[in-house]
Every structure is written in C-alpha cells, then in structure tokens.
Amino acid sequence: MKQFTVPIGYRSPLITAVKQYRKQQDKLKKDDTPTLLDLGNLQIYLARHFGFCYGVEHAIEIAFSTIESNPDKRIFLLSEMIHNPQVNADLLAMGVQFMQDTYGKQIIPFEEIRSDDIVIIPAFGTTLAIEALLESKGIVTAKYNTTCPFVEKVWNRSAQIAEKGYSIVIHGKPKHEETRATFSHASAVTASLVVNDMQETAELAKYITGEYESAGFYEQFKGRYSAGFDITKDLIRFGVVNQTTQLATDTQAISDYLKSVMIKKYQLTADNIDQHFADTRDTLCYATNDNQTAVSGMLQTVADLAIIIGGYNSSNTSHLVELCEEKLPSYFIDTPDRIISKNEILNCNWRTKDQYTVHDFLPEKSPVKILITSGASCPDAVVESVIKKLAHLYGVEEQVEKLIASF
C-alpha cells in the first residue's frame, strides 16, 4: 500500500517502532492481541491497529503539500479536513479557512470565493451540488480533492448496483459530512435512503412488509430520502452501503436483517436472492474494520480501564469507545491535557459529547493495567504523549525511551 508524507510532528518514534515490530511479526494481520508496554507499576496494552489510516494520510499529504506549494493563494477547506482537533488547528494556523462546520452550516459564504482561490475537499468528500457550485465559479476541484479512496469505493459500488436497477439504503449518521456526500452521489443515480441504526431499520422493515401504512414513511424518514422516493416501489430491489466510519458489525447486522426481511417477503432462496437484494459487503472500510477488530482483541486482556484517544466529533473513534465501554471503565480524551492527575481525568461522553471530570479513575494497585487505542484521524504523536503523561504520573518516564530501543 502506498506510503504518504505526513508532517514529522504527527509521527512518534515509539509508536512507529511498535507498529513496525508488529507488522514484521504478523504480516498477514491474523494476531489481534495488543502490544504490552511494560513500564513496571504501569502496564499499557496498545491495540494491534489504531491511528492514521490510508485515507487520512492521503488527505493530510495533499493538504499540506498544497499549502506549501501555494504560499500566495487563499486556501479554503470545505469543512474540517478530518475529525481531529490538532490537525485542524494546525491547518488554521497555516492560514487555511474553513467554509463550513461539521454539520454543513456556512461559515464563509461561497459568494466570497474567487476563481484563483484553492478549495480543498476534505477526506469525507462532498456533495455533487457543492462540486458543481465550485466548478461554476472556476475552481479546480480534482487537484485538491482529498476524498478517501474507500469512501469513493462506496460511491462506485452504489453506482454499479444502481445500473442493475437497485435502490440504495445507506447506513450512516444523517448529519455527518460523509453520509451527506454518499447520499448525494447515490441519489444522483437511484432512489436512496439513510438509516441511522438498527432501531430505524426495524421501523423501515415494517413499511417494506406492509405492516405500516406507506403514508407514515414520509414523515418518519423526512429528510432522509431522495426526491420522488416511493416507498411502495423503491424498496423492492435494493442494496445496503455504509458510512465507512460506522461499526462494521452494525452495518453488517442491518444488511443481514433487511436481507432476511426480503427473503421472507418474496420467498427467496440463495439462488435468486439477487432478484431483490444486492450483495454490498465489499463496501466496508478495511481500516475501520481493522481498528474495531483490534479493540475486540484488546478487550480479551484483563485490564483496569481503557483510554481511547481522538477527536470528539470523530465517528470512528466514538465507536471504539462504545466497544470498550461494554467491558470496562473507559475514558474518551482528545489530548493528554485531559489527564489532570492520578485522581482526575476530563472524560467525554461519546453519545452526548458532554465533558465531565471523573475522580479516582486510576486504581490504587500495582501494576495498573491500561488499554489504549486511538481513532483513524488521531496522530501517533498524540498517542505517545498520552503514554508519556501516564508514565510521568507513575514516575517511569525513563522507561518509555528504553522501550523504543527494545522493539
């Protein structure tokens, strides 16, 4: 897989050494056990896979090289490059201006853009309408498009099954940039609909089977379906694709559930299931799946708590927190500064995004065992800084440097 140039400030000697060691020992990625960093009375277990993914590194390389190559031009980002506060703050400090917030609220009007400006499309992609608007103003979009290749893979697969007469059901957070972009591309080629979770999917199934009157669909799913969507016709043949940062298991469960509904309604068999349901398993993002699988492997280790690092508006990171919370006390932080002392940590609720102080989060025992992972948009340097902060609290900072040489 291609290697990208990422600013040195996002790299970490420790994490690089750990990842290279694990890659050499497990080239086929079959071992999901975490890596033990034994610091004596502090034992840290790093997930097998975590941090920057292919799509994030791809976006960062384009963005930073664009800034370096165009010192005299105004440079805009449609919205946050990725959902990481450090990376976005660095871009702002370099003079980049964000045109929209995460939810599409306009910060800088498109009317202020000139044809000689540069507008970078973020890793989540954007809608066809915004692309057309930029191009109508003479903005070159292709050169500065950082859309993740795996997001584009979802778009391409949607187009492929649309050509065969299928509609599209998208599993995603309706307000997320990526979901809005995927919905735009899908609805341009076929009838499309967004479902947020299994609960909504179960409700949708009742319209498919006729248990609910079709009129109720349009109010219940208002703002989620494409123009002209007909609930009585457009879900006779469909496939399920996803927002790539969702839990892979959730997308698969939604797909399997809707498939079972279609099998029952139309009395289908393995030989003719494709008459009503498209196979779209290949749209699941490898990095999201790897990170989630690694967390499941990490959770097999007996530990006292878990720390998950990433941007608070990062969908993929939130799902890692969700997985960890099912097993043990888990703390969601975006910087090492959230660890105030041995007695206090500023935690973020992954559902509500509320932040609150947790007291006595580190147990009075030795050794303390902590599981650590990070989201796909979190720099390795931040992970190392969290490890060093914990090491400082236990007075074992010198052991961290020794670990680098041991891998």
Catalytic residues: 178
Side-chain-side CA neighbours of 42 within 13 Å: the count stands at 20
Measure CA 43 to chain center. 28
Question: How many angstroms separate the CA atoms of 131 and 175, rounded?
Answer: 18
> Phi/psi of residue 113, each to 5°?
-80, 135
Spatial CA neighbour of 386 closest among 36, 57, 14, 21: 14
Question: How many angstroms separate the CA atoms of 379 and 262, rounded?
Answer: 43
| Amino acid at position 31, single letter | D
Give the contacts of 382 (CB within 8 A, at least 6 positions apart): 86, 309, 334, 335, 336, 374
3-state secondary structure of 75: strand
Question: How many angstroms separate the CA atoms of 331 and 88, rounded?
Answer: 22
Side-chain-side CA neighbours of 387 within 13 Å: the count stands at 27
Q: Which residues pair with 238 in a beta bridge?
A: 167, 277
Where are the alpha helices (H) located in 26-126, listed in sequence order? Answer: 54-69, 85-93
Spatial CA neighbour of 330 closest among 351, 341, 314, 70: 351
Give the contacts of 326 (CB within 8 A, at least 6 positions apart): none
Question: How many angstroms separate the CA atoms of 122 and 63, rounded?
Answer: 9
Interhelix angle 177-187/149-163, nearest 10 degrees: 30
Spatial CA neighbour of 180 closest among 82, 103, 107: 103
Q: What angle do CA 191, 197, 199 make, to 5 degrees?
A: 105
Contact call for residues 301 and 371 (beta carbons, < 8 A): yes
